[in-house]
Amino acid sequence: MTVSRRRKRVTRLLSALAVFGALTFAIGAQTKITAPKNRFSLDDDVKLGRDASGQVVKELPLLGDQRVETYVEGVGVTLAGAIPPEFRHPPFRYTFDVINQKEINAFALPGGPMYLNRGMIAASKVEGEVAGVMAHEISHVALRHGTAQATAARTFQLIDLLGQIGGALAGGTLGSVIAQGTSFTAGTAFLTYSREYESQADILGAQILARAGYNPRDMANMFKTIEAEGGSRGPQWLSSHPNPGNRYEAINREAGMLRVQGNANSGDFESIQARLRGMSPAYTAEQIAKGQAKGGTQTISTASRTPVRVTPPATQYRSSRPFPFLRLNLPSNWMEVAGGDTGVTYAPEGGYRADQGALQGFTHGVQVGVAPRGSGNLQRDTDQLVVAFAKSNPDLRRQGGYSRETVGGRAGLRTSLSNRSDITGQPEAISLTTTLLGDGRLLFLIGVAPQREAETYENAFRRVRQSVQLSDR
């Protein structure tokens, strides 16, 4: 008797689970995707992508800007981490590079290498739109559409596919074919997808976006932007990623079934766009095809030497993460004007001077930096830092002593200094705040403003300081 009663309870429990399961399914329903048939091995994908990317890197001008690369990589790694388990392939390696090209385009090679044109980032309105294009490209790779296409075309041998890459090279280099987007031949077949594959990449892309913490609707918006900017011939992205029909509706319908998990926005999108705007213009497809483009480090244009009216700190703030362990809020009109391993500077338009990509100085804004490990005593190390600053700022003077202030929940010190700006020749007010990091290095925040605007800026500096969040221990 006991047995049957137990059995009955089990049955009841199972049916309760079934009902619960059905409800969950109804709420969280999302389109189920099945990767197309593929006769190639995962290693074939990897080999194909590696060979083609070798050509791409040789022929297309990479932007070669550390901050932009780090930013794009950050978005890409977040997305790759959100690929559903059934579409993860251990030998695949997702990499993300930026090409210094004006036209809106992006492409991914089998096995994971992805390339984004600078024009694509520039045309996006929010980070989610950049992420949208990347999630779509990642989906083609994860679903192995390149080699699936060759499977359907009955090109079963890897050697045939490699031969087709060779064919593309014979008809003009692979890079220039990709750059121009005109003469797509069999050689770039793995970059030109059918409408069916496009639908799949849109849907899986939407699912990856939601899992990663981006709004899938941003992807639909970006595709609209791409179509709008097309002109008569349409941008090349569309020639390799044809609209399968009702594209926005399909993506938005899928989005309605998905729950966006958290918020992946880095908060750095606007400063990255500002950084791109400050660089010399991107190359056109024509220049690249003619071999006039050179990859490498771009220079940030020199800030005007004539006095510029600098807009006061915005009352709206945005979040930024200058270091992996540090998050803070900044007036929304301050952009990141220089960065490196030891410091990042945020300044408004006209509030800094840069030459050949290197920051010469700034008259308005904040610098966040880390000084090498010193004695481990907060006040002694801060004294040392002031001495170091004075070496490049001979007019730097202390205005009174230290006051205690909490920075990111830790004991910190604050002091005021005066200086004469070597950019304007005018007196300036400097506000220095420091605290010790878990590893004993000194974290510092320097606020700089002309003396006569010191009060306005001190309010902004205080808000920046109070927003600091540290996660290094």
Where on the chain is the footprint of Zn ion (CB under 5 A)? 193, 198, 201, 241
In the block, tokens 């045939």 appear at 160
Residue 243 or 284 with smaller CB distance to Zn ion: 243
Q: Whose Cβ is closer to Zn ion: residue 206's or residue 378's?
A: 206
Q: Which residue is nearest to Zn ion (CB)?
A: 241
Would you say 116 or 279 has its CB closer to Zn ion?
116
Query: Around Cβ 405, how many Cβ atoms within 10 Å?
Result: 16
Nearer to Zn ion, 206 or 448 (CB): 206
CB contact set of 2 (below 8 Å; sequence gap of 6+): none
Distances (CA, A) of 10 to 14, 18, 20, 356: 6, 12, 15, 73
Cβ proximity to Zn ion, 40 vs 193, nearer residue: 193
CA 366 to chain centroid? 22
Smallest distance from Zn ion to CB 122, Å: 20
Element (H, E) at 374: none
Given its phi and psi angles, is residue 436 left (phi above 0), alpha (psi -120 to 50 degrees) or beta?
A: beta
- Dihedral (CA of 370, 373, 375, 377) sign: positive
* Side chain identity, residue 225: T
- Comparing CA positions, the residue from 279, 282, 214 lying closest to residue 61 is 282
Minimum CB distance to Zn ion, residue 193 (Å): 5
By CB atoms closer than 10 A (0-12, 13-18, 19+), residue 92 is buried
Give the integer Cα–Cα distance in Å for 447 and 368: 9
What are the backbone dihedrals phi and psi of residue 363, each rounded to the nearest 5 degrees, phi first? -105, -20
**Shortest Å distance, C-beta 336 to Zn ion:** 32
**Tokens, residue 436:** 């010790």
Residue 47 or 145 having the CB closest to Zn ion: 145
Closest approach of Zn ion to the CB of residue 68, in Å: 23
User: Shortest distance, CB of residue 177 to Zn ion, whole angstroms?
Assistant: 17
Tokens 């807009």 — which residue?
Answer: 311
117 or 382: CB nearest Zn ion: 117
Cα angle, residue 119 at apex, residues 118 and 120 outer, rounded to 5°: 90
* 59, containing H or E segment: helix 42-59
At closest approach, how far in Å is the CB of 140 from Zn ion? 6
DSSP-assigned letters across all residues of 133-160: HHHHHHHHHHTTHHHHHHHHTT---HHH
Task: List CB contacts of 254: < 8 A, sequence separation 6 or more.
Answer: 30, 31, 202, 203, 206, 207, 216
Residue for token digits 């220089």?
A: 338
Give the shortest CB-47-to-Zn ion separation in angstroms.
22
Where do the H-state alpha helices sit in 312-434? Answer: 378-392
Q: In whole angstroms, how close is the CB of 195 to Zn ion at the nearest point?
A: 10
Pick the closer one to Zn ion by CB: 94 or 362.
Answer: 94
* Nearer Cβ to Zn ion (117/173): 117
C-beta closer to Zn ion: residue 94 or 193: 193
Report, in Å, the least distance between residue 106 CB and Zn ion: 9
Q: At closest approach, how far in Å is the CB of 256 from Zn ion?
A: 22
Q: How far is the CB of 141 from Zn ion (least distance, A)?
A: 11
Closest to Zn ion by CB, 149 vs 416, is 149
Strands (E) located in 301-438: 317-323, 326-331, 335-338, 343-347, 352-355, 358-362, 365-371, 397-407, 410-420, 427-436
We find the least distance from the C-beta atom of residue 251 to Zn ion, in angstroms, to be 12
Residue closer to Zn ion by CB (options 122, 238) is 238
Closest CA to 402 of 378, 369, 438: 378
Q: How many CB atoms lie within 10 A of CB 43?
A: 12
